[in-house]
Structure 1
Amino acid sequence: MLKRFGFFEESSPRVALQDLRELQMMGPLDEEDQVLQYLSEGTMLFEAGGSAYDRFTDGSLPIGPPDVYSDGEWCWSGDVIYYIRNYHIAVESQFFDWMMKHNWKCPRIVSAEALVQSNWQT
């Protein structure tokens, strides 16, 4: 099963904001640029049909689609990049350690369809 990070759109606005504020208190990371690069290199698993909204504002500012990306071990929502870049949130320590272990180079997924079928419950 893929480990998940940053699916703030799945939570209620209040819970998502609380989670984001906790991550913001842990950041900014010295390695923020490396984290952003890693996340940007992920393989898209799902393309979202709608848009995510900034949870730090009143929820009316669209920030782009919450597409789902992966490195084969972790998956994350595309809006995570926005929150790191604009609010300097940290990532979970296990995910951070995983990225560092891979020298900040996101592994390429050969078959996103196979990964989805074996790991994602719909």
Structure 2
Amino acid sequence: MSQPEPPSEPAGKEPPGTLDQQGQQDMIQRIGRGIVHSLPPGWQEVSVRYRAVGSYRELAAELIAPNGTGIPVVVTPEVGELFAELRHGMYQPHRGTWVSATYRLSRPASYSVDFNGDHNPDWEQEPPYTEFAAELSLYPRATHNIPAWLAERGGITTPASARSPEQLRRAEVFDGTDAVGRPVTNRGELPPEERDLVLEYLERAPVILAARGYDSDRLDPYGRATVPMTFHTDGSWIWPGAVGYYLRTHELAPQADLVRHIRERDFQLPYVDDEARELAVSVITAKQNS
């Protein structure tokens, strides 16, 4: 069972994300000491789970018996406060902060801490949806770093991903080839103010397939092998890493429909869930095997 943790304002008076690596380690050590001071004599192993979103918190601890059975134990409220300070201090701009942590201690001096910032914690009691919205206000994330479960509960609308192969569009690097096999394109240049935004979108989208080595640059007079052999997806489109490469290296714009799609999304990558990634992989592998 979790110990009740009353809602509170974000821990500490410092802005979020001010703990450096040493500060984080110091805080983790303080949490460990607080846990140990709460335990009965003769303990051998303990697991403490802290979950938080917005100002909602849950704290649960259990002693681990030799046979693996968990025995609930109460730890001092100070442990919850220290976890809250650590969470606040570990915020990263555009990435957010973690929403659950598991601290394991074993005698004589072994410990580990696991942080989770992407998956919905296994709550003892589902927090009010207002707390998910508060999380995104207190610890803002870039759109592509907002998991679907957090976006849904926080009232954030994210573009829907394709759910069938027919819905996924695939971008081509070139428009075709001429009679001797040289690449042909018939595309306008990107406006200067959009070039870097489009490039960031193309290169930061999740990589779903990658091969070792590099392909030949077909616009390089020497044909040097510098083109990444990767595929990316945003859940609606699939494109080779070469699309971003040729934009960066040769100012070759992606095909017009893909550029239009990126503009419609205001150059913001959505969160791409596992189902969308697996679908994109299946489309690519089916194409390669056909």
Normalising by structure 1, we get a TM-score of 0.77
- Does structure 2 conserve the Cα–Cα contact (< 8 Å) formed by 1:53 and 1:63? yes
- Which range moved further: 32-41 or 104-113? 104-113
- Which range moved further: 94-103 or 59-68? 59-68
Determine the C-alpha separation between the residues in 2 that align with 1:105 and 1:16.
Answer: 34
Corresponding residue for residue 119 of structure 2: none
Within the candidate set 17, 25, 31, 2:183 is matched to 17
Corresponding residue for residue 278 of structure 2: 113
Normalising by structure 2, we get a TM-score of 0.36
**Code of the aligned partner of 2:247:** I
Corresponding residue for residue 85 of structure 1: 248
Determine the C-alpha separation between the residues in 1 that align with 2:265 and 2:182.
Answer: 29
Corresponding residue for residue 201 of structure 2: 38
Corresponding residue for residue 57 of structure 1: 220
Determine the C-alpha separation between the residues in 2 that align with 1:38 and 1:17.
Answer: 24
**Code of the aligned partner of 1:29:** P
When residues 46 and 7 of structure 1 are mapped into structure 2, their CA distance, relative to the original with a 3 A threshold, is farther
**Code of the aligned partner of 1:38:** Y
Determine the C-alpha separation between the residues in 1 that align with 2:182 and 2:208.
Answer: 22
- Does structure 2 conserve the Cα–Cα contact (< 8 Å) formed by 1:48 and 1:68? no
**Code of the aligned partner of 2:197:** Q
> Alignment partner of 2:198: what SS?
helix
State the 1:12 CA deviation.
6.8
Determine the C-alpha separation between the residues in 1 that align with 2:184 and 2:195.
Answer: 21
Query: What is the CA deviation profile of residues 4-26 of structure 1, one whole-angstrom value per residue up to 9, with x for unaligned ones?
Result: 12346xx779546213xx33xx1
Corresponding residue for residue 189 of structure 2: 27
Determine the C-alpha separation between the residues in 1 that align with 2:242 and 2:198.
Answer: 14
Q: CA RMSD in A?
A: 2.4
**Structure number with higher relative contact order (C-alpha < 8 Å, ≥ 6 residues apart):** 1
